[in-house]
Structure 1
């Protein structure tokens, strides 16, 4: 009954948080906006109701602490993010924050040998400044001062936005946590994929977060009249790109990576003109960093061969990279034992192809993640949905994990 009530409460709170949006008829909540302030004020109120000490840090993360009367260990941190993409769903990030608060509420009368902090990271998505993981980077001690000069679409710098929000820009990142003071970081998150639903499982233990590289490729040929240039004399950049895109798909299937072309711009873009230039993106990911590195090199070489055969010029620019991050084996084992106990089923282990705040928190501590099934794997979309029963199971598992760690780390 406690888990049922907690799950129902979390579903209602998810609906309430979705009200704090800059988008009419939808959910968009970006960093250092009035909606950010409203959402964190509400989260702070719920933290206080859970008998947690609350505060806001130097970059606008919202914290709540279950204080240990006699802490003998470093602090356990539980968290996720409260910001969203544009036209988002209700549960990406937010569910993990609400689960953390409710778990500590359920443990209000339980004495633990360490402090437990729950954090709502203020920016994971990068919706406003195109600089992701600002909140967790600040906590992990890797906030970059040059980010303060990045501007949003209204030409406002992050430094100016911090000041407008009521935070001194010169103190951003100054309250980072130290490794010796941090026991571990736990994050519960919707899967954002279809695997758990396919397995008919409510939750799964995360083994790691895939590393990623992103490139922009420019393919140059020769524009010409669509009716007068013979097919075998063309330097059609779009045909070259089409062959490359299919080659990328085949390569990914053969080398156990995922690779995506998500954007393609054709020039001059006229119905009766042979495409002379194509710009397209490549996103390649792997849970193994060595595989990511070798496959990125090999795939780009394969694309260059296609370009040369078609008498096209190819240029590539790396836009982004993130290291593959494994979850701590000990935390995977603990999550697995808790899941088996709470569900009566063998724990299911899966990797995350999406990035999370946990990948930054690994800079200062061990990380452990639990995924919650989401309908059809849909995320970053208004149709994002979870089952209340699954939320109850996740809550039960998180409470069990905190208790398990209290025992394991004091023996």
Structure 2
């Protein structure tokens, strides 16, 4: 099939996957749900049609493989994820899986000096249980048994969800891949930012994946009557939290990091009651670990200073950390060769502000990523959009990268 025609098929398949949603009217597909099972079945069928042998691993990841010049060779792993955030777009993760299947389908079995595997990771976003990368961490052998006690919004534990899905938690170690089984991991993903579009480029090679930390922050004051408490006696937790949120934005801009407060809860929440407690989140990202960590130190100091001045208490608790991941130079070079094969000029390099499964997979094998532009840089939203032309370019570059590694 010609590249442009196959690109259209890939986009049609993205539409089919987007129809597998737990919420009418918008896309939501979470780990170990009936929709996840249906997506695995559909992706597995497409893998089979492309000539791959298929299986679902012990963590619920959908996998496929074609052998190299002899059976049992180490594999080059291609893939992305098929779970979504709430009210998602249809290309984040899914497009990378479908591109990987398409590339595998264009490779004649038994011709490469390595096997080729495709994986559709089951849980990159962490929407259901609040902990991201569950699928890839299972593969990488970095699973934390404390996660079995995580609870979703319906009170179902991760342990119970595994059983409901037909998986045996005791067999989870069966998903682990050993470093000697793999030669690398390649992923194609929409950029989730505007850099490529602003530069007028179709594709870009990723240099690294962001260093990230996430925190639960709290400002504690004293609730009181809105009418009866004079300003000089107020210990308003919301005013203190608001001051820190503004300071987070200022500090982030000044230091070149990305600080975001995405959730805020006010207690007791009465319209005529001075807030006595505010809990809010902080998502902090940077290209380098040291920049991220120094930014948090300054933010925490600012929180303590604001609290002291306003007679409040400030607390922070970290619940997620991912250190920066540098993409492998040899695998990057293969993607760069792939970009040149499309005629898109000298490859544009950029670092990923978003996290990806490669953050976990790098523990067992080198990784690299290719970005393709998305309209307006929009992601995690129904307005995600890509063009057939750019998907075709990504397909050409992805296949060329695999063949460049085979020829190396």
TM-score, length-scaled by structure 1:
0.93
**Cα distance between partner residues in 1 of 2:7 and 2:268:** 53
The answer for the alignment partner of 1:291 in structure 2 is: 291
More displaced stretch, 331-340 vs 268-277: 268-277
Aligned length: 408
Any idea what the Cα deviations from partners look like across 1:251-270, whole Å, max 9, x if unmatched? 11121211111122223333
The answer for the alignment partner of 2:387 in structure 1 is: 387
The answer for the alignment partner of 1:361 in structure 2 is: 361
State the Cα RMSD in Å: 2.0
**Secondary structure, counterpart of 1:386 in structure 2:** coil
Once the two structures are TM-superposed, the CA of residue 57 in structure 1 deviates from its matched residue by 1.0
**Cα distance between partner residues in 1 of 2:93 and 2:44:** 16
Structure 1 residues 11-410: aligned runs within 5 Å: 11-70=11-70, 74-108=74-108, 111-408=111-408
Any idea what the Cα deviations from partners look like across 1:131-150, whole Å, max 9, x if unmatched? 32121111111122333333
Any idea what the Cα deviations from partners look like across 1:300-323, whole Å, max 9, x if unmatched? 112211221222221222222221
Q: Classify 1:158/1:271 alpha carbon distance in 2 versus 1 (closer, same or farther; 3 Å).
A: closer
Any idea what the Cα deviations from partners look like across 1:27-84, whole Å, max 9, x if unmatched? 2212222221211111111111111111111111111112113369621000111111
Any idea what the Cα deviations from partners look like across 1:175-224, whole Å, max 9, x if unmatched? 31111221000111111222222222221111111121122222123334
The answer for the alignment partner of 2:7 in structure 1 is: 7
Q: Give 5+ residue unaligned stretches, structure 1.
A: none
**Cα distance between partner residues in 2 of 1:34 and 1:264:** 31
More displaced stretch, 210-219 vs 149-158: 149-158
**Secondary structure, counterpart of 2:174 in structure 1:** coil
Q: Classify 1:174/1:345 alpha carbon distance in 2 versus 1 (closer, same or farther; 3 Å).
A: same
- Contact 2:67 2:109 (8 Å CA) reproduced: no
- Contact 2:68 2:109 (8 Å CA) reproduced: no
**Secondary structure, counterpart of 2:127 in structure 1:** coil
Q: Classify 1:237/1:168 alpha carbon distance in 2 versus 1 (closer, same or farther; 3 Å).
A: closer
**Cα distance between partner residues in 1 of 2:9 and 2:331:** 27
- Contact 1:50 1:108 (8 Å CA) reproduced: no
- Contact 1:53 1:67 (8 Å CA) reproduced: no
Once the two structures are TM-superposed, the CA of residue 402 in structure 1 deviates from its matched residue by 0.2
Once the two structures are TM-superposed, the CA of residue 298 in structure 1 deviates from its matched residue by 2.3
Any idea what the Cα deviations from partners look like across 1:153-181, whole Å, max 9, x if unmatched? 33333333323322222101323111122
**Cα distance between partner residues in 1 of 2:223 and 2:373:** 48
**Cα distance between partner residues in 2 of 1:284 and 1:321:** 10
Q: Give 5+ residue unaligned stretches, structure 2.
A: none
Any idea what the Cα deviations from partners look like across 1:277-296, whole Å, max 9, x if unmatched? 32222211112112222221
More displaced stretch, 193-202 vs 224-233: 224-233
